[in-house]
Amino acid sequence: MTAELGVQLARQKAALLWTLCGLGNTIYAAIQILTFVNHQIDSSGTAPTVFDAMALWYFGVVCSLWIVPPLFPLITSGRAANLASPLLGGFLVVTSVAGGLFDGVRDGLHIAATAVLALALPGIFAIRASWRLLRFTAAPAHLVKESAS
């Protein structure tokens, strides 16, 4: 029972950290969009139509993808799904932080700092927790019971 409880807590910890990364991505995206719109208004004096329908769909899809890495450890117990969580989540973290750094060069250092603090920092801990979960679930629990008897 103790090993099962440890695995369940590890799954919940990984899911919580991936959810925190998704929240950080939303905060970063909101700050990035507001900064971009502010620069557009300052340069022209009026609020132009910044985002077309394709850009809004892209934003919605990318923000929605952040729910997939926390779902893998919660609803599945297979090794392939546990491997998919750090791979997909790591890809999302790396691409979002890279985009934040490039946008930080263009729009200001505070955008890059927000990407690092809101995405990279929780992303490192989430990837670490997911890899630990992968390693933790690799050892079968029944071997401990068999060796004790």
Domain boundaries, given as residue ranges, for the chain: 2-140
Structural Rg of the chain based on CA atoms = 20
pLDDT, tens digit, for every residue of 26-80? 999 899 888 888 887 887 766 666 677 887 888 888 888 999 999 988 888 778 8
Q: Give how far the C-alpha of residue 14 lies from the chain's centroid of Cα atoms, to the nearest Å.
A: 11
Cα 83 to Cα 100: distance, rounded to the nearest angstrom = 26
pTM assigned to the model: 0.81
Q: Is the per-residue pLDDT at 3 higher than 80?
A: no
Check residue 1 and give its pLDDT.
Answer: 53
**7, 47, 49 from 139: Cα distances, Å:** 11, 58, 55
Cα 62 to Cα 83: distance, rounded to the nearest angstrom = 20
pLDDT, tens digit, for every residue of 93-148? 999 999 999 989 988 899 999 999 999 999 999 999 999 888 776 544 444 444 44
